[in-house]
Amino acid sequence: MFDVIAAPYLGRTPRALSGKLQVLQRGTDMVLAEHYTPVHHGRFTAATLETITFDRPHKIGFRLVRGPVPYITEEFTLAEQDGTTRLEYSGELGTDFGIVGQWWAERVAAAWEAAVRSSFRGIQAEAERRAGPGTAPS
Domain 2-131 grouped into CATH 3.30.530.20 = yes
Region label for 126, one of left (φ > 0), alpha (ψ between -120 and 50) or beta (otherwise) = alpha
Domain boundaries, given as residue ranges, for the chain:
2-131
Query: Could you list the pLDDT tens digit for every one of the 138 residues in the chain?
Result: 899 999 999 999 988 888 889 999 999 999 999 999 877 767 888 889 999 999 999 999 999 999 888 999 999 999 988 888 889 999 999 989 999 988 988 888 887 888 888 888 988 888 888 887 765 555
What is the per-residue pLDDT for 62? 97
Backbone angles phi, psi at 130, to 5 degrees: -70, -30
pTM for the full model?
0.84
What is the per-residue pLDDT for 136? 54
Cβ atoms of residues 49 and 66 within 8 Å: yes
Cβ-based neighbours of 92, under 8 Å, separated by 6 or more: 71, 72, 73, 74
Instruction: Report the distance separating Cα 43 and Cα 16, nearest Å.
Output: 20
Three-class SS string for 35-83? EEEEECCCCEEEEEEEEEEEECCCEEEEEEEECCCCEEEEEEEEEEECC
Report DSSP state, residue 11: S
Backbone angles phi, psi at 125, to 5 degrees: -60, -45
What is the per-residue pLDDT for 48? 92
What is the per-residue pLDDT for 106? 85
SS3 category, 18: coil
